[in-house]
A = this chain, B = another copy of it.
Amino acid sequence: MKLTILGCHSATPRINTNPTAQVLDIKNHVFLIDCGEGTQVQLRKNKVKFNRVKHIFISHLHGDHYFGLVGLISTFRLLTREADLHVYGPKGLKEVITLQMKLADSWTNYNLFFHELTSKEPEVIYEDDAVEVSTIPLDHRIYTNGFLFKEKPGERTLRLGAALDANIDKAYFRKLKQGSDVINNDGVLIKNTEVTLPPPKPKSYAFCSDTAYNEAIVPIIKEVSVLYHESTFLEQHEKLAKPTKHSTAKQAAAIAKKAEVGTLVLGHYSTRYDNLEAFKKEAQTVFSGDIKLAKEGEVFYFD
């Protein structure tokens, strides 16, 4: 699982900071999460192949999370994209994008599917053999969802030598990986666990931006491998966090602790701060696990 930070600052794009956008590589998918202004240039800078992006998830309709979407959709058209594109986001997103297409008299030459979200309960919005994506209802000024990306358990690992020693025909190897017990060439039942190892633990990634401190998400994100939780402010500005429904680094860390996550990634920093290390230090006072600071262009590998 690989996470590329395209933008991790709040509010306005500036010369060296970008609004929210991330790319999650998971099980051969390239998921784009949020798409602030300038995201298409950030994709180019970070050498993400446009054609590999087939699913875009938009948390909410504040501009710093989606103003780059319409341009990206247009660019895909200009580059004569053929692959389908699926966009998941709050109701209203389809209207705003299609209005702009209509005014430009420019329609996509690829299939563009909108999956508009309205539920206030967690729901599965994408699923295939390898991954499942569901929403994490967040507490922000407008309707907002985080997203939970979960690998499905993979196949068991065959211990090849043990299987051959047990005189099992190769034709059964597939069944073994899938967890079945099998009969060997001597007609003896071989227990699956004797010749296989458990599959690697499935990875999971929870993206939570933007949100006030909200313990209701804890059961949803319980024990995820990686949690990205917004930390717009430091504790000294908690008074600003409350009315704007954002979180402090300390609050993000408290959620990480309660949810017992593996790694906490901080981001969505207010542009008032120059020193991002202060966010990490503050979070460390609460959460003793791994803490990383999102930075534009940073790539995190979670293996």
A122 interface contact, C-beta 8 A: no
Asked if residues B105 and A68 are in contact (CB atoms below 8 Å), the reply is no
Asked if residues B15 and A68 are in contact (CB atoms below 8 Å), the reply is no
Asked if residues A99 and B95 are in contact (CB atoms below 8 Å), the reply is yes
Q: Which of B40, B79, B142 is in CB contact (< 8 Å) with A105?
A: B142
Q: Collect the chain B residues with CB atoms within 8 Å of residue A74's CB.
A: 12, 63, 67
In the assembled complex, the Cα of A90 lies from the Cα of B100 at a distance in Å of: 12
Q: Which of B62, B68, B92, B99 is in CB contact (< 8 Å) with A106?
A: B62
Q: Name A10's closest neighbour in chain B (CB-CB).
A: B78
Given contacts A12-B78, A13-B40, A96-B99, contact A71 B67 (CB under 8 A): yes
Among residues 38 to 84 in chain A, which have CB atoms less than 8 Å away from a CB atom of chain B? Answer: 38, 40-41, 44-45, 61-63, 67-68, 70-71, 74-75, 78-79
Q: Which of B15, B61, B106 is in CB contact (< 8 Å) with A41?
A: B15
What size tier do the contact residues of chain A reach?
Answer: 35 or more
Q: Collect the chain B residues with CB atoms within 8 Å of residue A95's CB.
A: 99
In the assembled complex, the Cα of A103 lies from the Cα of B11 at a distance in Å of: 16
Q: Whole-angstrom distance from the CB of A221 to the nearest CB of chain B?
A: 26
Given contacts A62-B104, A63-B104, A142-B105, contact A41 B38 (CB under 8 A): yes
Q: Whole-angstrom distance from the CB of A270 to the nearest CB of chain B?
A: 11
In the assembled complex, the Cα of A174 lies from the Cα of B79 at a distance in Å of: 61
In the assembled complex, the Cα of A195 lies from the Cα of B78 at a distance in Å of: 62
